[in-house]
Structure formats: C-alpha cells, structure tokens
Amino acid sequence: MKFKNVIIACSTIALFLSCATNPFTGKSTMALVPNSQLFPTAFAQYNQVLSESNVETGTARADMITRVGQRIAVAAERWLNANGHQGYLTDYKWEYNLIDDPTVNAWCMPGGKIVFYTGILPIAQSETGVAAIMGHEVAHALANHGQQRMSAAYIQQGLAVAGNVAIQDDQTRDAFNQYYGVGSNVLGMLPFSRSHETEADKIGLYLMGIAGYNPTEASNLWVRMKANSGGEAPPEMLSTHPSNDSRIANLKALAPQAIEESKKFGVSSFRPISNFNY
C-alpha cells in the first residue's frame, strides 16, 4: 500500500514536471517552477534586497558594473539568437546594481537581476575580471540552475505530491528564499553542484568573449579567488563557487575555444586588461 502511494506520488510529480531545454547544453532540465511564476518572485525579492542595501549609483565603479552587465546581456542575446533560441530572453528584465558592502560576492537572480558587492572588486581587479564574474553568474541564471535547485527542493519537501501540486505563492517565496537566499540571508545561499559550476564556467567564458573581454583572464580571476580564500573560513563567494586547481585548469583549457567562438561574432581583439583602483 505504502509502495503504491509512492508510485502514485512519483507519477504525479512526473506529470506536473515541466522540462525545459537548456539552450547552452541541449540537455533537458527540470523546471517545476515556470519562469512566469519564478520571475515575479525574483523581481520582488531583488527590489527588497536593493531597498535594504546601500546601493551605489553615479560613481565610476557603479557605471562600470552597468556597462559590463549590458555588454554581457547583449552577448547572451546575440549567442542565443545565432543558435536558434530567439525569444529565450523575452521575460528577462536585466538590471545591474553595485552594493557598497565588503562582502566578497556577486549574484544573478532569475530574470537577469544582478548584484555586485564592492567587496569583490579588489579580487576582480579589472573590468575584464568583473566580466568573468558577471559572465559566470549570468550563465547560472540563463541555464536555470537556480530553478532546478528550487524544483528539487519542492520534491524534497514533498510539496509536489498528489493533491498539492498547485504551488502556493508563499511556498514559492519560501523555497525561493531558501535556495537563492535573499535579503540578509544572501550569504546562506546553497552551493551549486559541480556540474552546474562547470557549465556556468563554460557559458561564462563564451559570454565574456563575445562581449569583448579576454576569456584568458577568467582562470587568473579564479586563481585570485583561491588565494583570497586563504585560511579556514573562505568568503561565501568561494564556498558557493568552490575554486580549485581542476577548475582553473579547465578554464585555461577552454579559453581558446571561447576565443574562437568570439570570432564568429566579429570579435577579433579584446579590450586591454587594466587594473582599476576603486
């Protein structure tokens, strides 16, 4: 009897699971929460984070974050269009904000809502370094990695079993908070899986290259991330985005491929890498 219930619950989950295709990998991914439900939640939470934070505007470094973000967004759109995924970004409402806070972190919520903390700028070191981080974070959002974590959470919490498939707004919000960790809880964000990290690294390299930033700098950035983690308590950016030698080697190996991809989009040379002194 119990076994039978499990079967019924599982097939109900399967019935209501919508699977979206990840345009970057061609893989089918779990998307229990549709963008139409996820994005409004993300946008509201993003605005809440901004209202509770020291958002910096009108400075050279805030303008730089916007500039890099816009270029990465354009690169994403160009890449998707060129690969037959027109309309993929229709519901995106890109926004780029710099928060004056020593936290070493940056993130992109579903729908293209980006935050950089000033604390990560010394590690980014240059606009190209910012582009590497931005490309990686945007890649997580484009590939719906967070959405997959949320979907897994619903199943784990039994929210998606028979009789309870209609996910309530407050359940969406709770799962969202848990898996994106917004507001004061940004630092509580759970780590992405290793395969998601590798995927975001590759997509991020392409995006930064197409945006005109030299992909060879990405591995250098993660070397600095690793060095920064130093002792026993790494900054959160590093614990949710574990940096290790194999990742750095992987980025180095993929850079020539990203440079070739950039050429397809008319990028034959990259912006010079010069350290900023914000």
Positions annotated as catalytic residues are: 137
Stretch touching Zn ion by CB under 5 A, among 2-10, 41-49, 63-71, 241-249: 241-249
| Residue closest to Zn ion, measured at CB | 241
The residue among 65 and 200 lying less far from Zn ion, judged by its C-beta, is 200
Smallest gap from Cβ 239 to Zn ion, in A, equals 11
Nearer of residues 49 and 134 to Zn ion, judged by Cβ? 134
Between the CA of residue 82 and those of 86, 210, 240, what are the distances in Å?
Answer: 8, 12, 31
- Residue 212 CA to residue 56 CA, distance in Å, equals 25
**Distance separating alpha carbons of residues 123 and 24, to the nearest angstrom:** 28
Residue (101 or 197) nearer to Zn ion, CB: 197
Q: How far is the CB of 264 from Zn ion (least distance, A)?
A: 25
What's the token pair of residue 51? 């209202």
Residues 125-164, interacting with Zn ion (CB under 5 A) = none
Q: How far is the CB of 140 from Zn ion (least distance, A)?
A: 5
- The length of the chain in residues reads 278
CB–CB of 270/214 below 8 Å? yes
Q: Point out which residues pair with 55 in neighbouring strands.
A: 99
Q: Which stretch binds Zn ion (CB under 5 A): 106-114, 150-158, 198-206, 266-274?
A: 198-206
Token look-up 């582009």 returns 131
Contact 221, 132 (CB under 8 A): yes
**DSSP states of 135-181:** HHHHHHHHTTHHHHHHHHHHHHTTTTSTT--S--HHHHHHHHHHHH-
Q: Please say which residue, 197 or 261, places its beta carbon nearer to Zn ion.
A: 197
103, 121 contact by CB (below 8 A): no
The two tokens of residue 172 are 């969406």
- Residue of 65, 200, 238, 267 interacting with Zn ion (CB under 5 A): 200
CB of 240 to Zn ion, least distance (A): 7
Binding residues for Zn ion, total number by CB under 5 A: 3
Specify the residue, 116 or 161, whose C-beta has the smaller distance to Zn ion: 116
Give me 76's structure tokens.
Answer: 């994403």
Task: Please select the residue that binds Zn ion; options are 71, 149, 202, 241, rule is CB under 5 A.
Answer: 241
Are 23 and 76 in contact, with CB atoms under 8 Å apart? no
H or E, element range at 98: strand 95-99
Stretch touching Zn ion by CB under 5 A, among 11-19, 114-122, 183-191, 233-241: 233-241
Among the candidate windows 87-95, 165-173, 178-186, 196-204, which touches Zn ion by CB under 5 A? 196-204
Shortest approach of Zn ion to residue 225 CB, angstroms? Answer: 11
- The residues binding Zn ion (CB under 5 A) are 197, 200, 241
